[in-house]
A and B are shown apart, each in its own frame.
Chain A
Amino acid sequence: MLGRTLREVSTALKQGHITPTELCQKCLSLIKKTKFLNAYITVSEEVALKQAEESEKRYKKGHSLGDLDGIPVAVKDNFSTSSIETTCASNMLKGYVPPYNATVVQKLLDKGAVLMGKTNLDEFAMGSGSTDGVFGPVKNPWSYSKQYREKRKQKAHGENEDSNWLITGGSSGGSAAAVAAFTCFAALGSDTGGSTRNPAAHCGVVGFKPSYGLVSRHGLIPLVNSMDVPGILTRCVDDAAIVLGMLAGHDPKDSTTIQDPVKPFTLPTSADVNKLCIGIPKEYLAPELSSEVRSFWSKAANLFESEGAKVIEVSLPHTSYSIVCYHVLCTSEVASNMARFDGLEYGHRCDINVSTEAMYAATRREGFNDVVRGRILSGNFFLLKENYENYFIKAQKVRRLIANDFVNVFNSGVDVLLTPTTLSEAVPYLEFIKEDNRTRSAQDDIFTQAVNMAGFLSCLQDCQQ
């Protein structure tokens, strides 16, 4: 049952094959069994069971709230959840219990979803491995698949069973792992430079990044306000569509959401790609691309072509500048967004009482890991009066050029772009940590973050199955 899609299990609930409480308990017990994955920071068992109970009452009366009613979901721990600890995997917010729900969380709950818990991430969503959070790294469920274990046995002998586990990718690794391990049917992630799509790729699930402004960011603890979006992780595209339908739309509490009303939609059951024009950006053919990924990319392109789609090469000429541009803008906004963490109103506060300044300094040193501190320092550097023009303004201009690349391509008749998400498949943790967070982010974000800067939507689906 737990391996089913959201739609299938929803049907099962409606038809009474299983009750919400049974479903919830099954998920809870699987969560306990898969604790070693470290996908969850907080498991909200009591809350979940209560919600399941209420869902059950509704089903009994025949008043279900829709496709999400009674469905176990998980939420990345950088979304504000009322009365449930929200940590962003940081010492700074350990023990912080928000008094309000993020809009997207509220929407899920209003539709009857059952909240299993808050998932693990890189601290404050900064990273591409889900390895730099204060609660430890998340392990990719595929590390424990028969395939991978076979592969490992062939390679190394006498190795500790669990030492060579694979990363989930990041920063929404916990959500991706939670979905991949069948502990929930959908999870919320966030996507700023690829943080939903990267772990989705590594964990073999669907990762959906909506267009900026489509889904409310109210309650999403921000990384880069001008690029962040809530992301959706599910096991199939149809499920993602269901969740998107519940979440999209204007939110008066978020002034950057579009005002136009969102029309409800359903995906066609069989896709007709005859009229589709697919673009392959030539700049994405990076030398670091693994041969495996490259071959899957070709296979996918050929598949579309054989089904009648038009597949052409296109150019996004400013691609090579996007990493550096992203880093300037990202760190600048981070420096600004993190300024509120001073230990005064909420969160961690150090013991020093000597002066306010000393308290700020110690609190922030103790509360943030070095990735966060590094980005704050860089960001403040770029925002200094003497640097602002050369870095921040320049980056904004380059961002405009990158966004225009996409606009031009989509205006020339191309409907979708087909690209890889990651350079290679999921790597073992031990290999991943050989490089620091900044280097890894620069490498791993290469395919994903241009789209964040341009604000477009992006979806990935695992190629292997």
Chain B
Amino acid sequence: MAALMLRWSCLGKRWVLACIDGGSRHGRGAAIGLTSRRKRGQSSVAQQPLIAVQKSRKGEHEWAAVVGLEIHAQISSNSKLFSGSQVHFAAPPNSLVSFFDASLPGTLPVLNRRCVEAAVMTGLALNCRINKKSLFDRKHYFYADLPAGYQITQQRLPIAVNGSLAYSVSVGKKPSQVSTRTVRIKQIQLEQDSGKSLHDEPRSQTLIDLNRAGVGLLEVVLEPDMSCGEEAASAVRELQLILQALGTSQANMAEGQLRVDANISVHHPGEPLGVRTEVKNLNSARFLAKAIDFEIKRQIHELENGRKILNETRSFDDKLGCTMPMRDKEGKQDYRFMPEPNLPPLLLYDTASLPPGADPQQVINIDWIRERLPELPGKTREKLIQQYGMLPEHSFTLLNEVGLLEFFQNVIKETRAEPKKVTSWVLNIFLGFLKQQNLAVNESPVTPSALAELLNLLDRKAISSSAARQVFEELWQSKGKTPSQIVSEKKLELMQDQEALERVCHTVMEGHPQVVMDMKRGNPRAINKLIGLVRKATLSRADPTVIKEILERKLSS
């Protein structure tokens, strides 16, 4: 298992931790030197470029970080994993609780078919082996939001194992510098979510809401093949996209549908792995990378100062930007795993093993599910590259931004402009405006139709590029006008009258004989000056390329 080197680099006064790609991940040769700084903001340290091979200084050691993830994704289903109560976000407290969810004595679990299908779909999309027989277990611990005193999970034999997830990270300053990484998936298991505790400190009480208790979760365990926050964040993002494409989870971190726990340790390359800590409940994409990188840095700092790392559980305080030990976990918990006696083994079939005359309502056929898997993000990106000739990094951006792909496709539908033009406008101009004002795609004041119309005008050379930008800015003000209306109001149409343009060129040339002389002498700047003058004369309504062509023609004649 490989690990990337970390480097501290100084960009001005700010320390930045960056991942460097040292070449192939496995079986690497010479290590890249790394120095870790003790004090932040040491201005006496020379600036170092991000990507550089540096010989390690005497007495300073290299560090490698190892990051594994446990990701809990809430299954998108109408009812809970083992009971019929509904699954809704933000419902009134304790309004979605069945007798089983409340652990009333005598109630029994009944497995939800949709949740099993979701697990199989996710397993297949992540290249896992689907276990045709999997088992359910009880994991015991006492906590107020766990009514039964145990969680039903799959510890012994989960539903899917041994898969992989490909994701991409940037390895340089340029957007084109991306590298594909793979992280192994250890397993995917079905398990119950717990309820929610709200701590009411002033009244020294805790309020329990069991709406979430019993909701189906997919736990996806990622092997410790990652080495920094950015890799982890990218892997999680890709998993989110996959789950959303499958429809098995909405994977919205803000709504708690995707929660990440990270296992982090550091060690010197060549030496055994270090003691790991678990950082729990990383619930936002933004803080995921930050928390992991902080923890790596913290561990390095502790070890370099002669202290030991405790095998503990920590949480991330996003206001302070640091991880803190969690008070609850004292000593190691023994969960006293036991088979769940109320649920027989879960048996899945494929076409070959399907028993004859089996009721399709009662059995699940893995092959049937495989044949109907929706298109995965990787495939979507591939198709975009092939169909529209866009660069790989563009395809990533299109998918990474919520709603952007749909926007793009809607524009494509309504415009005759070349796809490359559309790509450029959507990714550079449109996205740029969104980011500047911190808006989501669905909050955009410009609709796909409006942009398509604008691009059409540009395409048939009714307006120039700079005019198009002006129009776009106007559209962004959302005054309800169409691009055509704006163009005519602001008189931005390109001159179509060739003869009139020729006359203007002629006039300008007559008026500036000196510049014409320079042009004749082959001064390249001269022609630009003339073009500028013509443009001014035409109130920017002439296409510079056409002007240039006319001037050159006149000159040679």
Contact = CB atoms under 8 A, between A and B. Distances in A.
Chain A interface: which size bin? 35 or more
A340 B336 contact: no
Contacts of B204: 353
Interface stretch (A54-62, A110-118, A170-178, A217-225): A217-225
Interface in A236-284: 252-256, 259
B214 interface: no
Interface string B104-124: 111111110000000000000
B104 A392 contact: no
Nearest to B148: A340
The SS class assigned to the A binding surface is: loop
Which of B104, B105, B338, B341 has the largest count of A CB atoms less than 10 A from its CB? B105
B108 A342 contact: no
Contacts of B105: 80, 86, 88, 93, 96, 98, 221-222, 340-341
B144 A356 contact: yes
Interface stretch (A20-28, A157-165, A367-375, A380-388): A380-388
A90 B72 CA distance: 39
B108 A253 contact: yes
A98 B142 contact: no
A100 interface: yes
Interface string A79-97: 1100000101000010010
A218 B104 CA distance: 11
A254 B108 CA distance: 6
B343 interface: yes
B106 A255 contact: no
A222 B148 CA distance: 13
Interface stretch (A5-13, A137-145, A286-294, A331-339): A331-339
Contacts of A86: 105
B190 to A, nearest CB: 14
A98 B336 CA distance: 29
A360 B343 CA distance: 28
Contact of B142 (A217, A339, A346): A339
Contacts of A98: 104-106
B102 A255 contact: no
Contacts of A342: 142, 144, 149
A225 B342 contact: yes
B148 to A, nearest CB: 5
Interface string B147-173: 111100000000000000000000000
Nearest to B336: A383
Contacts, number: 99
Contact of A340 (B108, B147, B334, B343): B147
Contacts of B147: 340, 344-345
Contact of A339 (B150, B334, B337, B341): B150
Contact of B338 (A93, A341, A383): A383
Given A336-B150, A342-B149, A345-B147, A256 B342 contact: yes
Given A339-B142, A340-B147, A80 B106 contact: yes
Given A80-B105, A98-B106, A345-B147, A255 B142 contact: no
Contact of A225 (B104, B149, B341): B341
B140 A255 contact: no
A102 B142 contact: no
Interface string A93-135: 1001011101000000000000000000000000000000000
B155 to A, nearest CB: 12
Contact of B106 (A219, A345, A380): A219
A348 to B, nearest CB: 13
Nearest to A219: B106
A226 B149 contact: no
A255 B110 CA distance: 6
A93 B148 CA distance: 15
A341 B109 CA distance: 18
A255 B208 contact: no
A259 B359 CA distance: 12
A345 B102 contact: yes
Interface in A313-367: 332-333, 335-336, 338-342, 344-346, 353, 356-357, 360
Interface of B: 99, 102-111, 138, 140, 142, 144, 147-150, 204, 206, 208, 334, 336-338, 341-344, 362
29 contacts: A79-B106, A80-B104, A88-B105, A98-B106, A99-B104, A218-B108, A219-B107, A225-B341, A225-B342, A254-B108, A256-B342, A256-B344, A333-B341, A335-B336, A336-B149, A336-B336, A339-B140, A339-B142, A340-B147, A342-B142, A344-B144, A345-B102, A345-B103, A346-B102, A356-B144, A383-B140, A384-B334, A385-B334, A385-B336
Q: 5 closest Cβ contacts across the A-B interface?
A: A339-B149, A383-B336, A225-B341, A226-B341, A221-B105
